[in-house]
Structure 1
């Protein structure tokens, strides 16, 4: 994480108003840069991991061009019931980091096997994300898993897990489904499009390690005077928007 930059956003009070099995809710009183104080409701949630399990030739070893790599690749998806949506969704194998002391990579390996019966010999970090940073602290790491092989799926521990359907589909079809709305789970959309982009561009992915998902500023929200700026982006041009009625 970057060091604190602009001043403001000091938390003057914080109280938890709900604590459940999956999440908790707190209300923060926050000093805003203009001197006002506002309240922010925050859903506290464990980090999560997801796995884009990719079957196909390895870049640099097959002699295929990027388009050929995409055409020869397939991804593993699961169909699972999601109660808040009241429907079954196409998703990546995924799960919460709710086991004490378990790293993101260990959780990802476990979830891949539990939900699909597969294991992978090669792991990389595909993308990190903040699920919905306007109201929740949940962050997610999506791994790219390759060199897939059967590992045996453990017996399901719940009704929803028992109803999981596992499929393999061409990567190109997964991309089309993400773009036309058949796949709407955000982690699945992000993982599919990122894997497609990585194959086409030849981007070098980060190695998968046991390091934590470091996206949330770890400073004391009460004592520290500021928060980090967003990381620098090459080629970014600041777009200044004039107040309404001044143009």
Structure 2
């Protein structure tokens, strides 16, 4: 029974890597950014088909300043067509440059989306946002020691990125807004909650 399941220690709470045998695999849809793949997987009780989005992975940046008293993070508001909303997010982007180190991708995205540079970078957390439907891993960094990218070196934004307001928000206000259901962006909420938890530990 479930109530009699064993109790794990923190040291034992670790994901177990390793794929079950894949009998066949094919791309069933070639997308503009990512593909949909169908695998025939050998499960313990027999074969089954699993379809999922084959994703490049992504980085997200929690740009943090504390020069005005309380810790504040930079948010950008971007239109997201699948959810029909303009949601508040942290700067983020795809790992679409082959061989690019994670922190360099994070530097690039912070400059491209927020016109900011950072002297110090720290890994905060990595997570799989929807492991039942896509293989994406998002790597979140905290960036401090911030400065503006010079005007003549700024990235030219297009599409949804051409109209992205930015704002500084107190870290606790972001946490409170997330818990109150005012904002819904997963990477932004998880990054803010993780940073708040780390700072209070």
Question: Under a length normalisation based on structure 2, what TM-score does the superposition of the two structures give?
Answer: 0.86
RMSD of aligned alpha carbons: 2.0
For 2:48, the equivalent position in structure 1 comes to 38
User: 2-side partners of 1:79 and 1:43: how far apart?
Assistant: 25
1:145 aligns with 2:136: no
Contact in 1 for aligned 2:75/2:91 (Cα 8 Å): yes
User: 1-side partners of 2:17 and 2:146: how far apart?
Assistant: 42
Contact in 1 for aligned 2:36/2:51 (Cα 8 Å): yes
For 2:187, the equivalent position in structure 1 comes to 187
User: 1-side partners of 2:100 and 2:27: how far apart?
Assistant: 26
Contact in 2 for aligned 1:50/1:141 (Cα 8 Å): yes
User: 2-side partners of 1:131 and 1:92: how far apart?
Assistant: 15
Contact in 2 for aligned 1:55/1:73 (Cα 8 Å): yes
For 1:52, the equivalent position in structure 2 comes to 62
For 2:119, the equivalent position in structure 1 comes to 121
Larger radius of gyration: 1
1:26 to 33, 37, 47: 37
For 1:158, the equivalent position in structure 2 comes to 158
The offset of 1:162, in angstroms, is 1.4
Q: How many residue pairs get matched?
A: 185
User: 1-side partners of 2:176 and 2:23: how far apart?
Assistant: 47
The offset of 1:9, in angstroms, is 2.3
Contact in 1 for aligned 2:111/2:155 (Cα 8 Å): no
Q: Per-residue CA shift, 1:72-127, capped at 9, x if unaligned?
A: 21110001111111110000000001112211111100111111111111111100
Query: For the structure 1 residues 2 and 192, does the alpha-carbon distance in structure 2 shift closer, same or farther, using more than 3 Å as the test?
Result: closer
In the TM superposition, 1:1-247 aligns within 5 A as 9-34=20-45, 36-56=46-66, 72-152=70-150, 154-201=154-201
Gaps of 5+ in 2: 1-13
Question: Under a length normalisation based on structure 1, what TM-score does the superposition of the two structures give?
Answer: 0.70
User: 1-side partners of 2:15 and 2:83: how far apart?
Assistant: 36
- Aligned to 1:157, the other structure's residue is in SS state coil
Which is bigger in relative contact order (C-alpha 8 A, separation at least 6)?
Answer: 1
The offset of 1:42, in angstroms, is 1.7
Contact in 2 for aligned 1:113/1:152 (Cα 8 Å): no
- Aligned to 2:160, the other structure's residue is in SS state helix
User: 1-side partners of 2:155 and 2:94: how far apart?
Assistant: 19
- Aligned to 1:197, the other structure's residue is in SS state helix
The offset of 1:51, in angstroms, is 0.3
